Amino acid sequence: MNQTCIEKDIVITYRYRYRTGYSRGYIMDYFTSLTWKDSIKDIIDILIVSYIIYKLMQLVRGTRAVQLLKGIFVLVITWGLSTWFNLYTLKWLMNQMFTFGVVSVLIIFQPELRRALEQLGRGKLFRSSSFQEMDVSISVNEVIKAVNYLAKRKIGALIVFERDTGLNEYTESGIKMDSRISSELLINIFIPNTPLHDGAVILQGSQIAAAACYLPLSENPFISKELGTRHRAAIGVSEVTDAISVVVSEETGQVSLAINGLVVRDIKEESLISKLHSELTPKQKISEKTPFWKRKGGTNG
């Protein structure tokens, strides 16, 4: 009889400690024994995770993924309530959904995951630009000449600059050209009622890779209804790749620039030239052989 009472007391004591936050004592002991090295490591860990979450939020902002995340959040809340109130049937149903949820998330968020992996691959470790500094100047000058001519005459056009992410899957949908960039050729391509005028021109380095190419249309619900298929294609290709798109509207003659899923409408010539040069020019590294006092920002003596 006494042994039974002792066992009951042990169970009651264990439950009491568990309910009253016995684990809090363990947490306090953890913080007490925490060294400065462990503190720095934990801070770095938290900062890295916070940065990853921030970049993921930037990645899905303004896309359909936001609405899908809201739906997933509702499911998580439902699962939590079913667990709290012991709703066995609903809890079983939620568990079944989460079991197959990983595969479903991979399918649903395939465009966003692909974009994230492409951005990761475009890091410094794997960086190799299609453009050389001399090619950039020539290409931009020729494109600006063609865009000015087309804009004055309200001739629609869509020109895409390839950067680190290859656009071969889109060039294959058009007509291969592999010709040097020239304003005259670009103008002739977009003249109405010609075989190549409908579609996008894709530039690779200092060459016109293909014309009459089909691009993915943006599904961003926040895009202005005034923008047509040409603008949606320009935004769409900049969402799934790091390409830069220049669009000429055939209704207004305005020139727009699409980059990273965003569009700048009615951009001025000076701003367009500056932006293209800054985005397309390869980032030059400081030569290791150059003395540090002669590097940019350094002082001599």
pLDDT tens readout for residues 144-198 = 999 999 999 999 999 999 987 778 888 889 999 999 999 999 999 999 999 998 9
Looking at per-residue pLDDT, the higher value among 124 and 199 belongs to: 199
Q: Are 250 and 155 in contact (CB under 8 A)?
A: yes
pLDDT tens readout for residues 266-300 = 999 999 999 999 998 876 543 444 443 344 444 33
pLDDT > 90 in the chain, percent: 36
Residue type, 37: K
R_g over Cα of the chain: 29
Which of the four pLDDT bands, split at 50, 70 and 90, describes residue 72?
Answer: confident
Out of 86, 121, 156, a domain closes at 121
Average pLDDT, the chain: 79
Task: Based on the fold, state whether residues 227 and 254 are members of the same structural domain.
Answer: yes
pLDDT of residue 294: 43
Residue 188 belongs to some domain of the structure:
yes
Neighbouring residues of 207: CB distance < 8 A, sequence distance ≥ 6: 177, 178, 179, 180, 181
If you average pLDDT over residues 217-222, what whole number do you get?
Answer: 87
Task: Based on the fold, state whether residues 66 and 92 are members of the same structural domain.
Answer: yes
Residue 272, judged by CB atoms within 10 A of its CB (0-12, 13-18, 19+), counts as buried
pLDDT of residue 245: 96
Residue 62 belongs to some domain of the structure:
yes
For the entire predicted model, the pTM comes to 0.59
Neighbouring residues of 208: CB distance < 8 A, sequence distance ≥ 6: 177, 178, 179, 180, 181, 185, 186, 189, 201, 202
Residue 201 belongs to some domain of the structure:
yes
Q: Where do we find the tokens 């667990």? A: 83
Question: Using alpha carbons only, what angle is made at residue 198 by residues 195 and 203, rounded to the nearest 5 degrees?
Answer: 95
Q: Are 234 and 215 in contact (CB under 8 A)?
A: yes
Task: Based on the fold, state whether residues 99 and 159 are members of the same structural domain.
Answer: no
Residue 16 belongs to some domain of the structure:
no
Out of 53, 86, 121, a domain closes at 121
Lowest mean pLDDT among 2-6, 214-218, 271-275: 2-6
Angle at which helices 36-60 and 110-121 pack, to 10 degrees? 120
pLDDT of residue 75: 84
What CATH number has the domain bearing residue 224? 3.40.1700.10
pLDDT of residue 266: 93
Domain count across the chain: 2
Residues pairing with 217 in the sheet:
none
Find the domain containing 181 and state its range. Answer: 133-280
pLDDT at residue 19 greater than cutoff 60? no
Residue 297 belongs to some domain of the structure:
no
Residue 76 belongs to some domain of the structure:
yes
Task: Based on the fold, state whether residues 69 and 154 are members of the same structural domain.
Answer: no
Q: Which two tokens stand for residue 84?
A: 């709290």
Task: Based on the fold, state whether residues 43 and 65 are members of the same structural domain.
Answer: yes
pLDDT of residue 166: 78
Task: Based on the fold, state whether residues 110 and 215 are members of the same structural domain.
Answer: no
